[in-house]
Structure 1
Amino acid sequence: MQQTEESILRNLSVNDWVQRLQNHYLRADGPYGSTKLTSLDVTPAGLAAAVDAVDCSDEVVLKAFMALFSRSYVQKILGTKIHESSGLYAYNNFHLLVLSCVVAATTTNAGDSKQYRERLGALLDDGKGAEQKVDGVNSLWKALAIWVNKKGDLYREIVLPEPGSWTLIGYAAKLAYPSRKDRAYLKKILKELPDKALDNQNILLNYLKGSSYRLPERMRDDLADLIRCYGNNQSIETHHFWQLIENILVEISREEPKHSTLLWSISVSFGGWDGEELEDVFMSRGNRRAELENPFWHGTFSQLLTEYRTPPQIKKLLDSGCIILCESYGGLWTQDDRKPKEKQKAIILSCSEKIVKNFKKSLKLGHRWYCSETMSFSSALQITAGKGISDSNHQNTELRIEGGIPLGRGKWLSRPGYLPNIYIEKDAKLSISPPLKLQAVGNIINIIELIKIDGEWRIEWKLKNNTCFKLVRFFKNAPLVSKWPERSDRYEAAVELSYEDGVPLTNSEIVTSSSGIFPNQLSDALEAIYARAGAPRSESEIIGILRTVLPTDSKLKYLVWDVLRSLEEAGWLEQDIKRSWRGRVWRVLPPRIVITGENTAIVEGAIAAAEFDFLRIEAQRVGVNIHVNSALPFAAPVIGLIGTGLWELAEILGWPFLRAKIPEIKTAPNCWPLENRTEMGRKLAGVWKADPGLFVSELQQKPKGPTLSRLVREDDRDVFRIEEGSTTFISTQRIVALLEYARRTNNPLFIYRDRCLERQGAGGYLPLPVAQWLRRSTGIQSGPCLTCDQSYSYHYGVNEQQLAVLEKVFACAIQGHKKSKSNNQVMKIAKQRHRGMRLSHFIYGN
């Protein structure tokens, strides 16, 4: 980790440093918010926080920072007085102004001298001694303050201190705070605090107040101001001294991983076909709010009860036998270190019979624990008699902007349905500039206006004497992903078929013209998923994103699972199955070019707006034509490429380049993966009913012939069992079980109609390698196909040769068509021409 941070730090350009320093110290949407700039924490730890390199040592950070400067460069900027109207010049050279404060603040590599010029010379470390040319320092700071203070809400107001007798360097010397020595005093106190001190902000501030006599005078004053703000119910999140406390707590927790943290959260997600299974539990901890976005642990509820790393606040709730979770974004139910709002929706998890008997509908979690139905938070408190909420919750007074699809540093995706919510206090007055249409639901404010352009908005709320605002930026498109997640060792791939790669695909029927509407409604969901590509995502989060753009008709209740499968077959997503328990996460995959024939290819992987624009521009340059098949609006589009420059295009884009191959498959059941799991220790959860194509709780009468059942246990994957006389077939893959059941019962799961395989019922797919082969060779989307009566099926494009192979491999699970009596080739060609088809190219959707 350290080496990675160091390499990133070394690769930062001067412009990268300047921009990050400006964003961190000057902008109002940085960590200090709109508070006035009266000091700069430019100790090495402060610089590390500014450039996201907090794992690096002081020496490494300072060395990387000082590598930006030569003595002649420093002399040119800091040694020359400028006019007060040259503020933009000072802003563009802000890293030099930061250096002017570093000289005064740091003791790392600056020697023991108290003389400013000697310390600067020591930091430059070129053997030339003290640097005398610092005549321009005060003028640079003054010009910057004038320029920034005219910019209004975009930047923090700079309040320059009295320079005193230091007419050349006084601003820098007095803005540099704390010194490394000051910081050490505070860190020592924080390290000595008992775990109890980190229960909440109020307790922490009281402990610090009791030790304030050990702090330098300026720190004592800042602590007193921080306590005053807290006592007046004002947000302290952006107070500069609170930021300093947070930074030091982060350092301590990295140095001592077992040390308690100030912030924590516990969340659960629900999954399953009907969304009625508690699927995952997540725990997060940290000393900055952003740290809670990445859980340090997740597992089943049963595993939670025996986890030894549980934060003490959560452990106390579990020991009480009751915990209340409130509805959060991403399909999660959460309790964290902040006090919930009265009108939030909530659920109760409890093992107390007195509490559970008041549930109208309960879901068994195991170990005597049950989950309630959804209710208001106030109703939950009545049922639990006030239990289930941590007594260490912080006050919750800051302006909160949550949900939606965050893009980092105050940025959000502006696609319809994916805008964040604004949480305000009761009776607070909210204003947004420029104006946007809003809808209030209790203390939650929804943005209901379609944001058509990228831009920045000021959101402000006022309550009595407390005013708080944040600057947010909305963007239609997500930025290009620079780092893609990899599969963790704790997970493994889902294996649906045993096969070998055969000969390369050479005769694909790639689409030669675009069909359907693109971009379409599904594109908004794809943009949102692409924006979340930085880490593996829970299934409930992906499902929640997809449902936002899908029809709400009750007949289409399970459509979302078909859309998810379509994205998997298109290479957009890949599932990672937990090795040790029942659960899976999804990773967004990078784009790649897959060769499907001579001068033809398709693009697989995540292609959002930025990636598609990148592809389109470079493809045009090398003479490659792009055709998009999006005739099925809720299936992943097929992006086809035709041209001689495919290799060159892949090299320019930096995308993987591979050749599609035809899978060699044995006939079922010999093509199914070997399964080591058994039905031992599992209980019956459902029996397959062909119509409507779902697992139901029980059948009214025992069917004749094979029976397909779903068996479950809390700590492992589901098992699907086919019983036929004295023989039993077991698989952990639903897809495998459904196809094998259809084969054994002679009831086709897919029927061939008009060059497509059409699914019968609501569930079942072809194995992933087969689906990819069909998609690559036909250029036709695989995915849900809606009909005019608001019903749907799942379709795969298929040609005659492929159909014959599938009928041979899967037997009665695939129903072909009766052979035509006429073999007249002329009639066949004429029929194809009439339908708009060519012998070698199939145009779908025109």
Structure 2
Amino acid sequence: MVPALERGEFLRLDREGLPGCFTFLALTLYIDSLLDDVYAGIGQYREKLDTWLGFGRSFSHLEGVAAMWEHLVGWLDRRVDAGEPFRCIVLPPHGTWTHIGYTRRLSFPARRDVRLVERFLTDHPRSTQRPGDFIANFEATALGPQASWGLKQAYEEFRSAYLTDSRALAGHRFWRFVTGLNGGERLAGPKPAAVEMSFDEDGGRIFVVTVGSVRDKPRTIAPTLGAAMDAVEAAGETSLSPALARGWLLFRRVGHGRWQSALNVDECVGRILLGCRSEIAPRVEALIGHLPSSGSWALLKEPSPVSVIESAVARLGGARRQEDWLVPVSVCDGIQSADLWLGRPAFLPRIVADTSELCIVPAPGNLSGPLTISDDGSLRLQASSPVDGAYVVSPKVAGGRPPPWSRRISFVRDAVPHTAYGGSKDDLLPLRDWTALEEQGLTSHVSGGFEWDEGGCAIGDLLEAVYAGGRTGWDEMDLIEVIRLGVGGAVDPWTTLRSLHDAGYLCPRLRQHWKGRVWTLTPPSLLIVKGRETDIVLAEGALCDRLTDAFRRSAEGGGGAPFRRAAVSVWSPPTIGCAGADPQYLAEKLGWPIAHTKDLAPPIPFAVETTPKRNDRYLVASRWDWEMRRFTVGCHVAEGRVALTRWQHPGGRDHDVYVVESPGHESFHLSRTASIVLAHGLAREAFVRIEDDWLVRVAREGGLPDVAAMRLRVSNLRNAGPVDDTYVYPFCDVDAQWLQAIMAGCIGGVREASAATAAEILALSRRSGARIRPLWIGGKMRINIR
């Protein structure tokens, strides 16, 4: 130790990837932090060092300390130049302390700084609530003789940035130090809060309230704007408190179907929405037109130009600007994978700061592509191709001055595979379409074509994002927004969500005590399928690119022929599998279980899911329109015709209930798909039609039950998906008889050779539990569903 401190002689550990001097330098920082009152009468650094070590030496020469700091700088520079993930050290001027100068200046906060600031906060207990007042009061302390050189420098950085109108200082090293000593009170303003509005599958508005930090914010889902603002009020003093006080709030568009609260018109562009308390709604309506009620508040139905809203709010009074607030610099709205940001272009994060004048550069050693920052005010990062590695973002400054802050953001091109799946969402009840399930063997009718298809998939980035952010599941509104970003308006996001469900990528689950669903990733597994020439092993569940690569390499290593077959749509996941490999070998190699086939349906007709819930005190939200083939508001069903109605809980505190009614029949469902299938079966109306080798959805929404989608996927080794304005399933002739058996009357264009025989109809009737009755009509046996 003594040779290192006095002469800079220490064991170099470059071969082990270590600098060798780090421990000694950490010791020198610790020695400088020792309190003067603990070491009474020992105020000089050398005396503290000797007392702590107990060597009985004077330590008059400590040139080795400066030499070790300079060695560490060179070691780090070489690592950065080699592309390793290290940061450089910029040493401060050592001044007249040529031996220990670096240590004395880098040791902030020293123990004496802690005591000094604690005494100041005792005398000024509420000073951190207004940074301007804090600076005025702390000036004498910072300039006094008891403040260390490091404290003086940190304070001057903070003061200079604040006086030049920078407000993104909540994470500044000086302010973190001060507020940490003041009980963690880090923000001079109230808690950040926001209200986001999006739309469900039926076009209804859903409000999400977030309060707290950007990275880990508690969420409240509300059915009306009034309920959302009640949740904001219950959170106490927040950044939305001015909106509560004045009684109105603006919404600006931040996505294809997402709107976010704004306090002032100058935050908005294009068309915006205005909401207000019901008490002042008549006054607002006189200025801009009718505002439909949304709980105890009212909200414009259609967005209006900024100029129109600006004129209206000028008469209502503007929001007071809080000049003395400090804000944190945050990175948000991206997809994280193992504490790294996913580097796919559509899902890059945005920066939350107090300025839009930002610059971003690759960190030393990063050879990935360039990143830019959008100029539309959202501060979202942009790239033309996937990015990897670290970048540094900071505000632009003039005159060569150092920026008041900078942030290092690290990206990963491909999602990091999850080591475990789960969380509280996995405890929620899965939403199933079909109830009659049994274990069956699986057969594929595909012959040949077991090749690795590299093209035909536009959904790759979206699959990577859904996987990366879904370890503990997705709230449905968040998932829909991610899908919107991924498809970019090319297809309907709700239809794309159906394709992910039909592909076995995601599982829907019912939210507890509230309307809506959450979606969890299906853990990867292996499914054994009997093929025409050889057995096939399918990779089931949610796969990222790295898991797909692992499956392919393992299959090749086991002597199999891995294949990747594109779906019927470029906006659906491909099918991944292997022909001729030992499934036990793959299971051991990958650590994936071999899946059981218990979720396949025996040929029992219309064994759809039902629920004991009833629609008492619910309100009619929409009805199935047999002409438009979708749920609509205000349509009427002719007497004697099958009626399908969606009932909604008035407070949004429970799930929608779908009621199917016909003469002699009434059933209640939580599954939208199940209710549509049963209604079409009772009405003898086809909602899918066979066209060549495809099964095309005739209805404007809905689809096959989950078990039928899985059967067709395995039978044809191809996933269903959106094509143009409809939805298409893979299909072959041998599927028709099974589909007719479980959903008679729902399949249009069935070839006569595939129609059910009289003996089969009688057998189905016996197995249906009196659900179907055979009828003799026109010289043929028919099925009547009760």
Provide the TM-score with structure 1 as the length reference. 0.70
How many residues were matched structurally? Answer: 714
SS of the residue corresponding to residue 494 of structure 1 reads: coil
**Which residue in the other structure is 2:284 paired with?**
355
SS of the residue corresponding to residue 214 of structure 2 reads: helix
Query: Within 1, Cα distance between the matches of 2:609 and 2:580?
Result: 38
Q: 573, 587, 593: which is aligned to 2:526?
A: 593
Query: Within 1, Cα distance between the matches of 2:125 and 2:516?
Result: 37
Q: 522, 545, 556: which is aligned to 1:609?
A: 545
Partner letter of residue 192 of structure 2?
W
Shift, 1:269, TM fit: 3.5
Shift, 1:741, TM fit: 0.4
Matched, 1:721 2:659: yes
**Which residue in the other structure is 2:774 paired with?**
none
Query: Within 2, Cα distance between the matches of 1:339 and 1:207?
Result: 31
Shift, 1:740, TM fit: 0.9
Query: Within 1, Cα distance between the matches of 2:591 and 2:754?
Result: 51
C-alpha contact (below 8 Å) 2:243/2:263 kept by paired residues: no
**Which residue in the other structure is 2:260 paired with?**
334
SS of the residue corresponding to residue 178 of structure 1 reads: coil
Shift, 1:431, TM fit: 8.0
**Which residue in the other structure is 1:807 paired with?**
740
**Which residue in the other structure is 2:70 paired with?**
142
**Which residue in the other structure is 1:296 paired with?**
218
Cα deviation 1:569-619 (Å, max 9, x = unaligned): 223222333211212333334422223347422112222222222322333
Shift, 1:718, TM fit: 1.8
C-alpha contact (below 8 Å) 2:258/2:481 kept by paired residues: no
Partner letter of residue 366 of structure 1?
G
Query: Within 1, Cα distance between the matches of 2:70 and 2:16?
Result: 12
Query: Within 2, Cα distance between the matches of 1:502 and 1:515?
Result: 30
**Which residue in the other structure is 2:299 paired with?**
370
C-alpha contact (below 8 Å) 2:33/2:107 kept by paired residues: no
SS of the residue corresponding to residue 284 of structure 2 reads: helix
SS of the residue corresponding to residue 508 of structure 2 reads: strand
**Which residue in the other structure is 1:643 paired with?**
580
SS of the residue corresponding to residue 656 of structure 2 reads: strand
Change in CA separation of 1:338 and 1:538 when aligned onto 2, cut-off 3 Å: farther
Q: 312, 315, 321: which is aligned to 1:383?
A: 312
Query: Within 2, Cα distance between the matches of 1:339 and 1:166?
Result: 57
Q: 109, 113, 130: which is aligned to 1:178?
A: 109
**Which residue in the other structure is 1:741 paired with?**
679
Matched, 1:620 2:552: no
**Which residue in the other structure is 1:6 paired with?**
none
Q: 782, 787, 792: which is aligned to 2:726?
A: 792
Shift, 1:183, TM fit: 4.2
Cα deviation 1:614-644 (Å, max 9, x = unaligned): 3223332233321111142122211112233
C-alpha contact (below 8 Å) 1:718/1:732 kept by paired residues: yes
Matched, 1:96 2:33: no
**Which moved further from structure 2: 335-344 or 475-484?**
335-344
Query: Within 1, Cα distance between the matches of 2:338 and 2:529?
Result: 38
SS of the residue corresponding to residue 267 of structure 2 reads: coil
**Which residue in the other structure is 2:497 paired with?**
564
Query: Within 2, Cα distance between the matches of 1:582 and 1:342?
Result: 31
Cα deviation 1:468-508 (Å, max 9, x = unaligned): 46665665433334454524388432232223332443667
Partner letter of residue 496 of structure 2?
V
Change in CA separation of 1:473 and 1:757 when aligned onto 2, cut-off 3 Å: same
Cα deviation 1:16-64 (Å, max 9, x = unaligned): xxxxxxxxxxxxxxxxxxxxxxxxxxxxxxxxxxxxxxxxxxxxxxxxx
Q: Give the alignment's Cα RMSD to 1 decimal.
A: 4.9
C-alpha contact (below 8 Å) 1:759/1:794 kept by paired residues: yes
Query: Within 2, Cα distance between the matches of 1:651 and 1:121?
Result: 55
Q: Percent identity?
A: 16
Shift, 1:340, TM fit: 6.8
Change in CA separation of 1:572 and 1:585 when aligned onto 2, cut-off 3 Å: same
Gaps of 5+ in 2: 756-786
Gaps of 5+ in 1: 1-73, 123-127, 254-258, 286-290, 823-846
C-alpha contact (below 8 Å) 1:439/1:448 kept by paired residues: yes
**Which residue in the other structure is 1:832 paired with?**
none
**Which residue in the other structure is 2:764 paired with?**
none
Shift, 1:118, TM fit: 7.9
Q: 205, 222, 242: which is aligned to 1:278?
A: 205
Query: Within 2, Cα distance between the matches of 1:271 and 1:384?
Result: 26
**Which residue in the other structure is 1:574 paired with?**
507
Cα deviation 1:675-707 (Å, max 9, x = unaligned): 232222222222212343211222377364111
Query: Within 1, Cα distance between the matches of 2:305 and 2:88?
Result: 39
Matched, 1:310 2:240: no
Query: Within 2, Cα distance between the matches of 1:76 and 1:651?
Result: 54
Following superposition of structure 1 onto structure 2, how do residues 817-832 of structure 1 map, counting pairs within 5 Å?
A: 817-820=750-753
Cα deviation 1:520-553 (Å, max 9, x = unaligned): 2111221222332344334333333333454757
Shift, 1:233, TM fit: 1.5
Change in CA separation of 1:247 and 1:575 when aligned onto 2, cut-off 3 Å: farther
Following superposition of structure 1 onto structure 2, how do residues 130-529 of structure 1 map, counting pairs within 5 Å?
A: 136-145=64-73, 155=87, 158-160=90-92, 162=94, 167=99, 171-172=102-103, 174-179=105-110, 182-183=113-114, 203-207=130-134, 210=137, 217-218=147-148, 219=151, 222-223=154-155, 225-234=157-166, 235-236=168-169, 239-245=172-178, 263-273=191-201, 276-285=203-212, 291-300=213-222, 301=224, 303-307=227-231, 309-313=234-238, 314-315=240-241, 317-328=243-254, 332-335=258-261, 341=267, 343=269, 346-351=272-277, 352-353=280-281, 354-355=283-284, 358-359=287-288, 362=291, 364-371=293-300, 373-374=302-303, 380-385=309-314, 391-392=321-322, 403=333, 405=335, 411=341, 413-415=343-345, 417-419=346-348, 441-443=375-377, 450-451=384-385, 454=388, 462=396, 468=403, 476-482=413-419, 484-488=421-425, 491-505=428-442, 512-514=449-451, 517-518=454-455, 520-529=457-466
Query: Within 2, Cα distance between the matches of 1:225 and 1:236?
Result: 10
Shift, 1:230, TM fit: 1.0
Partner letter of residue 594 of structure 1?
L
Query: Within 2, Cα distance between the matches of 1:173 and 1:409?
Result: 34
Change in CA separation of 1:483 and 1:336 when aligned onto 2, cut-off 3 Å: farther
Query: Within 1, Cα distance between the matches of 2:256 and 2:21?
Result: 39
Query: Within 2, Cα distance between the matches of 1:367 and 1:265?
Result: 20
Change in CA separation of 1:576 and 1:615 when aligned onto 2, cut-off 3 Å: same
Change in CA separation of 1:577 and 1:214 when aligned onto 2, cut-off 3 Å: farther
Query: Within 2, Cα distance between the matches of 1:292 and 1:160?
Result: 34
Query: Within 2, Cα distance between the matches of 1:529 and 1:702?
Result: 43
